[in-house]
Amino acid sequence: MTTSDGLLAATIRDESGRLVTALYRRFGDFDVAEEAVQGAVVEALTQWRRDGTPRRPGAWLMTAAQRNALDLLRARGRQARATERLAGPPGDAPPFAGGALHDADDRLPLLFACCHPALAPDARLALTLRAVIGLTTPQIARAFLVNEQTLAQRIVRAKRKIVAARIELKVPDDLDERLADVLAVVYLAYNEAFVSSTGSTHDRDLGADAAWLSELVARSLPERAEAWGLAALLRIQHGRAAARFTATGDLVLLRDQDRSLWDGTAIKRAGEHLERAASLRSPGRYQLQAAIAMCHAEAPSWEGTDWLQIVTLYGVLIREDPSPVVRLNGAIALAQLGPRQAAVALADLDTLEPQLAGYHLWHAARAELLRLNGRDDGAEAADRRALELTSNDAERRLIQTRLRRHPLTDGS
Amino acid sequence: MKYVLMFTHDPAQLAGVSEEETQAVYGKVYAWFQENGAVFADTGAELQSIETATTVKHGGVVVDGPFNEAKEVVGGFSVIDVPDMDAAIALVKTWPQLTLPGVAVEIRPMVEDYSQFE
């Protein structure tokens, strides 16, 4: 990514949600507002690369988006109505339903609308990425390896529902319940980007976008512990991203990562978020995951990791979120404590078979624990099964490498 | 904004509920209609297409999509007039029968602005 592309991405991320909100307030049509901003983003992507960044990028985007909105309204034959609205006093625009939270970031109502439970879960993610942080449909499709046309349809349907069913852009009264939906979408945005990223060049750093969004939510709702927990988690994960891939795009496991590549500033900031979350005394799954990630981030090496602390945190996390994937990760941590615990961990893992037999990482984890327990023959079969099930190139290469080098190197 | 509420239930699941509990809920239902009388509008509505449906399920869980499994049946309709979808969901969540298993209420916006079809 070039510097100018980086600046472009950051400007779009900062401005697009604001612009959608502003245009919606002005024209009273969510679909027009979102479409107009999306058009401006696409124009910026080509023009700024060709002509350089304008002196006032935010104003440039606003002008382009406004012109697009008027064009769209004209094309849809609704210009008369919009013009009437524009002619009236500013108070005629739809009320900006921020309510008591008027100090909060003005992108928050938009985010809550995009993550509304009345929208299909996969549409919530796509719409959030487009309307709130200004990703284009092709960018989303590339990042999540989905068909562009299907994705475009999904977004159109979601927008139609927002308009037809009157889902307002506002911070809801049942904040706690709805915040969980928002945090789930932001987490998914990071996680999907993390999983599908193959180290190849993207024109947007989606991990950075998701971490930024998590901090925006936390700053806007500073009394919500889980919002800070998620912000901490994503900041740590992203802070370690540079060590996850080799120059050739191969995955590097945590134990083999060059820890000097980790971003100390990001990890420090994550620590502050985590302290802030802890001070609110309302523990939850994001905070616990962040605490586990922080143990890794502060460890000098894989061997020098405080595994006991991590296993303890997993115990609490599993009570909070007993999903099979969390239990899988808990078992891997437990196995690091010693041979006796490695045997228990393998037994734990085997109880997850009914739920995870189709999940490549279950087989990969099982291969690892079988090796730790001295059962190399079973390990190779498990690795082969993982290889069959993975759809990710980087993961496939990692497993192939492990199959090739074993039993030459692994004396652990 | 007008929304049609479609009150649905699964007869098989309701069969397991005691007569006593059913009566208690019915008592609350009457009170609910009294309490919320102001938001009820007239009937005879044309509905938006099926993709615009949102369903609130037993326990207050909100999901997208219509409530269309064949084993469940529509027990009745109402039309409400409230500011937006959140207000409709908030009202429906207080529907006393949602405490019973197999009960769900579909919320569907009514077509009010016919210019969208022009």
Q: State pLDDT tens for residues A307-318.
A: 999 999 999 999
**ipTM for this model:** 0.75
Task: Give, as one character, the DSSP assignment of residue A155.
Answer: H
CA distance A120 to chain B (A): 5
| Phi and psi angles of residue A261, each rounded to the nearest 5 degrees, phi first | -85, -10
Out of A119, A161, A167, name the one closest to residue B84 (CB): A167
Sheet containing B2-9: order of strands: B61-64, B54-57, B103-109, B2-9, B73-81
Q: Model confidence at A305, in pLDDT bands (50, 70, 90)?
A: very high
Q: Model confidence at A89, in pLDDT bands (50, 70, 90)?
A: very low
pLDDT given for residue B63 in this prediction: 87
Q: pLDDT digits over B61-89, tens only?
A: 888 877 665 566 777 789 999 999 999 99
State what percent of residues in chain A have pLDDT above 70: 88
Task: Give the chain A residue whose CA is nearest to the CA of B118.
Answer: A77
What is the pLDDT averaged over residues A36-52? 92
Whether the per-residue pLDDT at A38 is higher than 80: the answer is: yes
Whether the per-residue pLDDT at A302 is higher than 50: the answer is: yes
Residue A248 host element (H or E): none
Return d(Cα A76, Cα A31) in angstroms, integer: 12
Q: Which of A112, A146, A150 is nearest to A131 (CA)?
A: A112
What is the pLDDT averaged over residues A23-45? 94
Q: pLDDT digits over B34-68, tens only?
A: 899 889 886 545 556 667 778 888 888 888 877 66
pTM score, two decimals? 0.84
Out of B1, B64, B107, name the one closest to residue A119 (CB): B64
DSSP string over A87-125? HS-GGGSPP-BTGGGTTS-TTHHHHHHHT-TTS-HHHHH
Residue window 164-223, chain A: list those with CB within 8 Å of chain B. Answer: 164-168, 170, 172-174
Task: Give the chain A residue whose CA is nearest to the CA of B54.
Answer: A118
The answer to whether the CB of A398 falls within 8 A of the CB of A392 is: no
pLDDT given for residue B47 in this prediction: 58
Return d(Cα A365, Cα A326) in angstroms, integer: 13
- What's the whole-number average pLDDT of chain B? 84
pLDDT given for residue A85 in this prediction: 59
Using a CB–CB cutoff of 8 Å, tell me whether B42 touches chain A: no
Q: pLDDT digits over A93-151, tens only?
A: 444 443 334 446 889 999 999 999 999 998 999 999 999 999 999 989 888 888 999 99
Return d(Cα B86, Cα A317) in angstroms, integer: 32
Whether the per-residue pLDDT at A212 is higher than 70: the answer is: yes
Q: pLDDT digits over A173-206, tens only?
A: 989 999 999 999 999 999 877 766 544 445 678 8
Out of B52, B62, B118, name the one closest to residue A165 (CB): B52
Higher pLDDT, A97 or A324: A324
Residues 6+ apart with CB under 8 A from A405: none
Q: Model confidence at A407, in pLDDT bands (50, 70, 90)?
A: very low
Task: Give the chain B residue whose CA is nearest to the CA of A167.
Answer: B85
pLDDT given for residue A76 in this prediction: 82
pLDDT given for residue B2 in this prediction: 92
In this complex, how many residue pairs, one in chain A and one in chain B, have their CB atoms less than 8 Å apart? 49
Q: Model confidence at A43, in pLDDT bands (50, 70, 90)?
A: very high
Q: What do you get for the CA distance between the two ends of chain A, in Å? A: 39
pLDDT given for residue A311 in this prediction: 97
